[in-house]
């Protein structure tokens, strides 16, 4: 789950969803949930005995899925550097007699399973990369891996649950491969590197690069499904929504250039520290005073400020970095323009200059309404009373590249894994050293992807 933007600019803005598509607070998104429960289920075409068998096999592979997850957790690798992870997955998938393509997008793995009868093509996606976070939760299988981030040595940790995503999808691949004689259509298993970010110096990566390399073609994918584990939702709960689920994410770098001076005589210079302080405060008014938050939310967060080397020297430059989250492409452009305008006005008024570099990252994660309505009964059958419609969230996901601008409808959902024996105050938040998951939730994830796959493949409305 991306909480910082990609460090490289992606210029194909045409894939960002239109404002008409992202009126996500329209009440029909909420009424939609009621109609989903009475919608004609795709699962009506699947033999109930086969569905029951899949559930049994999911339970039977639960211990193996947990073992896989623990292996990945002990051996994490950073974005676009998942060398051992990709090799491990590829070697396993080959034992299932699948068509395995490795490596793709540097370290990714894509495997193809063909059913006994012709039918639609679906893709199931899991991400592979870990984060530069030092683990301290005390798990017996906690990571001890370290890596260099610039001049700093840091721990490496699966602090966002990608280890569980890989393990769950390996379980799904194992079960579906055993039942290929009962299947129609084709399934692509996508194990994607670099969801969190691209490695320093890389010019592309993650879902964006996989799409460029043709992961949705040959054969052409008709629909794609994915999940994200969520440590702050109750274990076993499934949360989803039609339309906008997760925000578009952009990053910004602002360089304020003034005139250096002695700290004792600030009138001899143009102080970029003071100007940067004004910029930080002014950026907050863009959301509070210029964005119509009754329509769509937005976030502008300043995360770093760097400048100066000593307390009595006014530096020449200060750099500011932060992140932007939006749910509407016209609003996204407005926020970008407002940032540039605000920075220019403040710096020019004091005789300074500034450069604003905005990097466009992952677009809005958008669940196709028709596909969501079609497949919601499959999620309901998996989670029962633990199925909920969620509000949109301001984190981001590069799963969006598989759907927006490609013509491929997608459905992305959250799988709750809040450890039942933890106090809520402990907050095992994603991207932190204390992150942890309830492994009992994994079997629900396996079942959900199994039922989404078979229900879609056998649905009368698909080819």
For residue range 154-177, what is the model confidence (pLDDT) as tens digits?
999 999 999 999 999 999 999 999
Looking at the structure, tell me whether residues 102 and 187 fall in a common domain: yes
- Tell me whether residue 77 is in a domain: yes
Q: The domain that contains 305 carries what CATH number?
A: 3.30.70.360
- Tell me whether residue 4 is in a domain: no
Question: Mean per-residue pLDDT for 135-148?
Answer: 95
Looking at the structure, tell me whether residues 236 and 377 fall in a common domain: yes
Question: Mean per-residue pLDDT for 244-262?
Answer: 97
pLDDT value for 44: 61
Looking at the structure, tell me whether residues 205 and 98 fall in a common domain: yes
Q: Indicate if the pLDDT at residue 448 is higher than 50.
A: yes
Final residue belonging to a domain, choices 336, 360, 384:
360
- Tell me whether residue 6 is in a domain: no
Looking at the structure, tell me whether residues 196 and 264 fall in a common domain: no
Helical H segments across 19-117, by residue range? 28-38, 48-60, 62-74, 83-95
Count of CB atoms situated within 10 Å of the CB of 187: 27
- Given a contact cutoff of 8 angstroms between Cβ atoms, the answer to whether 186 and 113 are in contact is yes
Domain span holding position 274:
249-360
Best CA proximity match to 92, nearest among 64, 134, 50: 64
pLDDT in tens, 360-402: 999 999 999 999 999 999 999 999 999 999 999 999 999 999 9
Supply angle C-alpha 11, 397, 138, rounded to 5.
Answer: 135
pLDDT tier for residue 25 given thresholds of 50, 70 and 90: very low
Looking at the structure, tell me whether residues 435 and 349 fall in a common domain: no
Share of the chain above pLDDT 90, in %: 84
Question: Mean per-residue pLDDT for 219-246?
Answer: 97
- Tell me whether residue 132 is in a domain: yes
Q: Indicate if the pLDDT at residue 10 is higher than 50.
A: no
Looking at the structure, tell me whether residues 309 and 356 fall in a common domain: yes
Q: Which residues, listed in sequence order, are joined to residue 223 by a DSSP beta bridge?
A: 122
pLDDT in tens, 192-219: 999 998 877 888 999 999 999 999 999 9
pLDDT value for 424: 57
Per-position b or e across 339-356, b if 16+ CB within 10 A of its CB = bbebbeebbeebebbbeb
Phi, psi of 108 (to 5 degrees): -80, 165
- Tell me whether residue 62 is in a domain: yes
Looking at the structure, tell me whether residues 47 and 156 fall in a common domain: yes
Q: Two tokens at 334?
A: 């407005």
pLDDT value for 327: 95
- Given a contact cutoff of 8 angstroms between Cβ atoms, the answer to whether 216 and 314 are in contact is no
Could you tell me the pTM of the whole model? 0.90
Final residue belonging to a domain, choices 360, 390, 414:
360
Separation of alpha carbons 130 and 8, rounded Å: 19
Question: Mean per-residue pLDDT for 303-331?
Answer: 97
User: Domain tally for the chain?
Assistant: 2
- Tell me whether residue 387 is in a domain: yes
Looking at the structure, tell me whether residues 51 and 198 fall in a common domain: yes
Looking at the structure, tell me whether residues 118 and 19 fall in a common domain: yes
pLDDT value for 149: 83
Looking at the structure, tell me whether residues 226 and 277 fall in a common domain: no
Looking at the structure, tell me whether residues 153 and 169 fall in a common domain: yes
**Mean pLDDT over the full length of the chain:** 91
Q: Indicate if the pLDDT at residue 59 is higher than 70.
A: yes
| Torsion angle in degrees (nearest 10) through CA of 18, 452, 182, 110 | 60
Q: Indicate if the pLDDT at residue 41 is higher than 70.
A: no
pLDDT value for 234: 93
Q: The domain that contains 98 carries what CATH number?
A: 3.40.630.10
- Tell me whether residue 19 is in a domain: yes
pLDDT value for 422: 73
Looking at the structure, tell me whether residues 262 and 371 fall in a common domain: no
- Tell me whether residue 316 is in a domain: yes
Separation of alpha carbons 337 and 16, rounded Å: 17
Helical H segments across 197-252, by residue range? 206-212
Separation of alpha carbons 445 and 383, rounded Å: 10
| Torsion angle in degrees (nearest 10) through CA of 197, 201, 206, 208 | 110
Final residue belonging to a domain, choices 360, 381, 398:
360
């Amino acid at each position: 789950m991306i909480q910082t933007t990609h460090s490289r600019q992606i210029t194909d803005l045409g894939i960002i969803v239109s404002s008409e598509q992202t009126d996500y607070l329209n009440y029909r998104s909420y009424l939609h949930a009621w109609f989903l429960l009475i919608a004609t289920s795709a699962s009506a075409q699947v033999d109930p005995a086969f569905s029951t068998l899949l559930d049994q096999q999911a339970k039977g592979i639960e211990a193996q899925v947990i073992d896989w997850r623990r292996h990945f957790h002990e051996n994490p690798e950073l974005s676009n550097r998942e060398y051992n992870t990709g090799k491990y997955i590829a070697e396993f998938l080959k034992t299932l007699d699948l068509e395995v393509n490795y490596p793709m997008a540097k370290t990714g793995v894509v495997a193809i399973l063909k059913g006994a009868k012709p039918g639609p093509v679906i893709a199931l996606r899991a991400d592979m990369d870990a984060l530069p976070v030092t683990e301290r939760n005390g798990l017996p299988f906690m990571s001890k891996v370290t890596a260099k981030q610039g001049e700093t040595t840091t721990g490496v940790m699966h602090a966002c649950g990608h280890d569980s995503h890989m393990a769950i999808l390996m379980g799904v691949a194992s079960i579906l491969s055993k039942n290929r004689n009962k299947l129609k259509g084709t399934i692509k298993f996508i194990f994607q590197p670099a969801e969190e970010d691209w490695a320093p110096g890389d010019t592309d990566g993650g879902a964006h690069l996989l799409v460029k390399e043709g992961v949705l073609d040959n054969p052409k994918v008709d629909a794609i499904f994915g999940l994200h584990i969520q440590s702050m939702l109750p274990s076993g709960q499934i949360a989803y929504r039609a339309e906008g689920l997760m925000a578009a994410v952009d990053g910004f770098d602002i360089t304020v250039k003034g005139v250096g001076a002695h700290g004792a005589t600030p009138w001899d210079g143009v102080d970029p520290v003071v100007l940067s302080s004004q910029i930080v405060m002014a950026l907050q008014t863009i959301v509070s005073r210029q964005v119509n938050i009754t329509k769509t939310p937005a976030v502008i967060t300043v995360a770093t400020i760097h400048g100066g080397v000593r307390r009595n020297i006014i530096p020449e430059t200060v750099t500011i970095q932060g992140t932007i989250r939006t749910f509407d492409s016209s609003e996204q452009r407005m926020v970008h323009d407002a940032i540039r305008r605000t920075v220019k006005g403040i710096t020019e008024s004091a005789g300074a200059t500034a450069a604003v570099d905005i990097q466009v990252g992952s677009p809005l994660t958008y669940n196709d309404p028709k596909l969501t309505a079609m497949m919601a009964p499959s999620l309901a059958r998996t989670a029962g009373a633990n199925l909920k419609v969620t509000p949109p969230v301001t984190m981001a996901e590069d799963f969006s590249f598989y759907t927006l601008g490609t013509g491929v409808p997608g459905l992305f959902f959250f799988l709750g894994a809040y450890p039942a024996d933890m106090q809520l105050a402990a907050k095992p938040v994603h991207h932190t050293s204390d992150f942890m998951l309830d492994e009992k939730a994994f079997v629900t994830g396996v079942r959900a992807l199994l039922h989404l796959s078979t229900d879609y493949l056998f649905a009368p409305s698909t080819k």
